C-alpha cells in the first residue's frame, strides 16, 4: 500500500483477479485434456477386450497397442497396466507364449510398483498360465533340454511345490 499508493490498489486487485481466473481456466483445460486422453485410452482398452473373445487378433492387438500409447502419453498408469495385460492376452491368442509372458510380467510389475492390486491379481494367474504353455511349447521343440524345466513349471502351476528346483528353472 505504501509502495503503490491507495489509487493503484484497485488496479492491482483487478490484475491479480484476472491472473487467478486465467490460471484456473488453464488448469481446467489441462484437466479436461487429461480426462479426454484417459477416456480415449480406456475406450481402446475396452475395444481390445471385446475383440479378444471373438478371436479378432488384429483388432485386439491394434486396440490394446493404441490404448497403451495413449495411457503412457496421459500418464494413466492403471490403464497402461491394463493395456499391457490386454497385449499379453493378444500375444497368447496369437500363440506367442514368450511375448505373452513378457507383456503380462510388465503388467504385473507396473501394477505392483503403483499399488494396483486389482490389475495385478487379474493378470497374475495368466502369467503362470503363459509360463505353463511356454513350457509345453519348449518341450515340443527341444525335449531333452527343457523337459525338467517344463515338469517344474507344470508342478508349480498346478499348485504343487518342487523342493530343490534351481531358481533359474522357476524363472527366479
CA 29 to chain centre: 26
Residues 6+ apart with CB under 8 A from 154: 132, 135, 136
pLDDT (0 to 100) of residue 100: 92
**DSSP letter string over 10-23?**
HHHHHHHHHHHHHH
pLDDT at 90: 93
Which residues have CB under 8 Å from 81's CB, separation 6+? 107, 110, 111, 114, 116, 119, 120
pLDDT on residue 138: 43
Task: Label residue 25 exposed, middle or buried (CB < 10 Å: 0-12, 13-18, 19+).
Answer: exposed
In this predicted structure, the answer to whether residue 21 has a pLDDT above a threshold of 60 is: yes
- d(CA 119, CA 71) in angstroms, rounded, equals 15
Q: Which three three-digit cell numbers place residue 71? A: 495411457
User: Each residue of 116-166: pLDDT tens digit?
Assistant: 999 999 898 888 877 776 564 443 334 443 344 444 444 544 555 444 444
The model carries a pTM of 0.62
Closest Cα to residue 103, out of 119, 114, 89?
89
Average of per-residue pLDDT values in the chain: 78
Amino acid at each position: 500500500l505504501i509502495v503503490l499508493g491507495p489509487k493503484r490498489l484497485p488496479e492491482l486487485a483487478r490484475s491479480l483477479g484476472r491472473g487467478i481466473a486465467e490460471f484456473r481456466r488453464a488448469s481446467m483445460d489441462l484437466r479436461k485434456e487429461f480426462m479426454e486422453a484417459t477416456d480415449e485410452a480406456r475406450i481402446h482398452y475396452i475395444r481390445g477386450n471385446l475383440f479378444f473373445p471373438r478371436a479378432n487378433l488384429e483388432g485386439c492387438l491394434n486396440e490394446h497397442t493404441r490404448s497403451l500409447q495413449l495411457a503412457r502419453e496421459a500418464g494413466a498408469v492403471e490403464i497402461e497396466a491394463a493395456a499391457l495385460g490386454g497385449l499379453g492376452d493378444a500375444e497368447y491368442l496369437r500363440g506367442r507364449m514368450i511375448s505373452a509372458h513378457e507383456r503380462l510380467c510388465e503388467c504385473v510389475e507396473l501394477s505392483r510398483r503403483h499399488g494396483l492390486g486389482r490389475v495385478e491379481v487379474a493378470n497374475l494367474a495368466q502369467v503362470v498360465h503363459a509360463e505353463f504353455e511356454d513350457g509345453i511349447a519348449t518341450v515340443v521343440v527341444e525335449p531333452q533340454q527343457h523337459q525338467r524345466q517344463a515338469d517344474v513349471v507344470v508342478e508349480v502351476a498346478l499348485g504343487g511345490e518342487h523342493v530343490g528346483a534351481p531358481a533359474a528353472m522357476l524363472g527366479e
